[in-house]
Amino acid sequence: MGRLTTHVLDTANGVPGSGIKISLFSLDGGRNLLTTAVTNDDGRTDRPLLDEAAFKAGTYELEFAVGAYFAAAGNKLDDPPFLDDVVIRVSLADDGHYHVPLLVSPWSYSTYRGS
């Protein structure tokens, strides 16, 4: 079976993005919330977002609440924040480990398929 993991790096402050809420949605048959998690001190979730029996091939969205994170970190933000929620849409096959890192600042972000 496969699994889906993530981590967040705060590129504006040069630290892991800790305390960021992540919501995972399935897009197969509508946009359905599957789970939420909050990143730990290392910017990672404590367990995979999808694992074992919960993992199914399909299209998903990871929604990262970065606006709240940067506001709490004391970063000067536009009003409203330029980036509030970052949404990354991915398509996953039947098996394999999918790792989706997010490198983010208040004004930009980047992602890739990690290992």
Contact 1, 95 (CB under 8 A): yes
Model pTM score: 0.94
CATH number of the domain encompassing residue 76: 2.60.40.180
- Does residue 36 carry a pLDDT above 80? yes
Q: What's the domain range around 37?
A: 3-111
pLDDT digits (tens, 9 = 90+) for 54-102: 899 999 999 999 999 999 988 877 778 899 999 999 999 977 899 999 9
- Does residue 1 carry a pLDDT above 80? no
Say how many domains are in the chain: 1
- Does residue 2 carry a pLDDT above 80? yes
Instruction: For 63-96, give one letter per residue: b (16+ CB within 10 A) or e.
Output: bbbbbebbeebebebeeebebeebeeeeebeeee
Provide the β-strand partners of residue 115. Answer: none
